[in-house]
Amino acid sequence: MSTTKIPIYIINLDRSPNRLSYMDKQLSKLKMPFERIVAIDGHQIQPQILQSYQQQSKRSWIHYAALSAGEIGYAFNWHHAWRTVSSHNSKACVVLENDVKIHDNIKKCN
């Protein structure tokens, strides 16, 4: 097994400390440290920015309706996560949302 640890990142909204605690308990039990990525709450995005993205999504051939604030926030979060992990010097990483159940066998993957 490799001695190199794969960094773990958890996407978590400030208003969801219970979910962060849920992840912390699971990963602490497995002795797997993680870094929190502070999630962007789509409902806190400035209205003019939100409307701009909603108008763009309405014109997309993929979407038939404007994206919701939550959907836009979700997309921002994964973009932010990608920027965060790509700025670190790792060949691999794990990015998780804050509501996943982690199987005890995950350590076999590291």
How high is the pLDDT of residue 1?
A: 43
pLDDT tens sequence across 11-28: 999 999 999 999 999 999
How high is the pLDDT of residue 109?
A: 65
Q: Give which of 90, 4, 102, 86 is closest to 37, Cα–Cα.
A: 86
Residue with tokens 């701009």: 52
DSSP string, the chain: --SSPPPEEEEE-TT-HHHHHHHHHHHHHTT---EEEEPP-GGGS-HHHHHHHHHHHHHSSS-SSPPPHHHHHHHHHHHHHHHHHHTS--S--EEEETTPPPPGGGGGG-
How high is the pLDDT of residue 59?
A: 61
CA distance 84 to 21: 22
CB atoms within 10 A of CB 26: 18
Can you list the residues of the chain whose pLDDT is less than 70?
A: 1-4, 57-65, 108-110
